[in-house]
Amino acid sequence: MSQSTGDPALIQPLEITERRKIRFDNRYAAPLFITCILVIGHLAYGILESYERTALAIGSAIVAELVLGRIFYGKWINLASAYITGISVGILIRSPAFWPYALCSVISIMSKYVLRVKNRHLWNPSNFGICVLLFLAPETVAALTIQWGNFIWPLLVIWILGSIIIWRARRFHICATYVISFLALAFVRSWITGDAWLAEIAPVTGPMYQLFIFFMITDPKTTVRSKVGQSIVAFLVALAEMFLRLNHVVYAPLYALFIVGPAAMLIEIWMDSRRAAPAS
């Protein structure tokens, strides 16, 4: 769910011109938003496994980013991205053990530095780390699948706040495409499985989806560049998720992004290199 920074040495605001007009640095909107989600969610509903585990996840991500940034780029990296990665892991991973929190954060951050093609990394960091842990340590790790209490208002607040932030970052179309696709494909699933449509859309009312929608699929550095392309990828994530869901995969959205995201990136990189080839 983390918003990765791509080349960590070159952290760029989402819209530089926008940023110049206002005092508030857009880079910090996402960290602030996710911090709000964490604090409110925990104080109101105790969504965290524990403070210690979340702190461990955040600390591990930050330390990994600092060390790797220093090694690879010889400078201290802005820590907004690492913070989001850490806090994402802290919220989304559920494990009674401590080590998965540290390991997941470190793997997530390292993936940005190691799994690169043409100087671009392919996976959203925390999506990668969480999926790896779910694959490799299923007996110890699960992901957050619960809901925000019994009330509708926390849901609305998060949707509204998240939408505003994403709108300002000019990535609302990604969220909208995904959500519309999800709701439409839920009809298809409902028709195939015979389960109620409301049952099919039930997961989208939970916090995992909200974090997934606002932070993971909109990650600037692990989505393709064109607006149309971004919308197509969002639809494909929803489509892949549908097939995974039809095969009863519990963490379908995470795995769908894990598969579709890098594939889209590789296609774009390949197309870029083809376009660049005649010019050179």
Partner 1 sequence: MSGRKIARVVVSILFVALLATPLVIKRLAARLEPSRAKLDAQTALARYGFYLEEVAKSSGVEFVHQAPTLDQNLEHIMPQVASMGAAVSIVDFDRDGWSDIYVTNSGEGSKNRLYRNAADGSFKDVAPEMGVADVNQAGTGVSMGSVWGDYDNDGYEDLFLYKWGRPELFHNDAGLGFTRVTEKARLPSWVNANTAIWFDYDLDGRLDLFLGGYYSEDVDLWHLKTTRMMPESFEYARNGGRKYLFRNLGEGAFEEVSAGVGIDTRRWALAAVAADLRGTGRPDLFIANDYGISELYFNDGKRFREVGRQTGVGFAPKSGMNAAVGDILNHGRYSIYVSNISEESVLIQGNNLWVPKEGTAGDSLRYDNLAREMDVEMGGWSFGAQFGDLNNDGTLDLYLVNGYISADQSQNYWYDFSKIAGGNSTIIADAALWPAMEGRSLSGFQQKRVWLNDGLGKFINVAQAIGANDVYDGRAIAMVDLWNRGVLDVVVANQKGPLLIYKNTAKPENHWIEFELEGTVSNRSAIGAEVRLFWNGRQQVQNVSGGSGFCSQNQRRLHFGLGKNPQLERAEIRWPSGNVQVIDNPSAGQSHRIKEPA
Of 24, 76, 151, 270, the residue at the interface with partner 1 (CB under 8 A) is: 151
Instruction: Decide: is 99 part of the binding site for partner 1 (CB under 8 A).
Output: yes
Answer for which of 19, 63, 172, 206 binds partner 1 (CB under 8 A) is 206
Query: Given candidates 40, 55, 120, 149, which one binds partner 1 under the rule CB under 8 A?
Result: 149
Side chain identity at 57, as an amino acid letter? A
Residue 95 in contact with partner 1, rule: CB under 8 A: yes
Residue with tokens 């995974």: 244
Calpha distance 129→132 (Å, rounded): 5
Contacts with partner 1 in 15-74 (CB under 8 A)? 45-46, 49-50, 68, 71-72
Work out which of 193, 267, 271, 276 binds partner 1, going by CB under 8 A. 193
- The stretch among 18-26, 92-100, 211-219, 260-268 that binds partner 1 (CB under 8 A) is 92-100
Q: Which is nearer to partner 1, 80 or 106 (CB)?
A: 106
For 104-166, give the DSSP string: HHHHHHHHHHHSEETTEE-S-HHHHHHHHHHHH-TTT-EE----STT-SHHHHHHHHHHHHHH
- Residue 141: CB partners within 8 Å, gap ≥ 6? 93, 94, 95, 100, 104, 133, 134
* Cβ proximity of 111 and 69 under 8 Å: no
Rounded CA gap, 157 and 41, in Å? 12
Six-digit token pair at 185?
Answer: 């494909």
* Strand extents, DSSP E, the chain: 93-94, 116-117, 120-121, 142-143
Tell me whether residue 196 or residue 271 sits nearer to partner 1 (CB atom): 196
Rounded to the nearest whole angstrom, what is the least distance from the CB of residue 257 to partner 1 in the complex? Answer: 17
Q: Does 210 bind partner 1 (CB under 8 A)?
A: no
Pick the closest to residue 143 from 151, 133, 154, 128 (CA basis): 133
Instruction: Using the minimum distance from each CB to partner 1, give the nearer residue, 232 or 259.
Output: 259
Q: Decide if residue 113 touches partner 1 (CB under 8 A).
A: yes
Query: Residue 81: helix, strand or coil by DSSP?
Result: helix
Among 63, 155, 157, 266, binds partner 1 (CB under 8 A): 155
Pull the structure tokens for residue 235. Answer: 């639809």
Among 11, 63, 110, 180, binds partner 1 (CB under 8 A): 110
List residues binding partner 1 (CB under 8 A): 45-46, 49-50, 68, 71-72, 94-97, 99-100, 103, 106-107, 110-111, 113-114, 132-134, 136-142, 145-152, 155, 193-196, 198-203, 205-206, 208, 245, 248-250
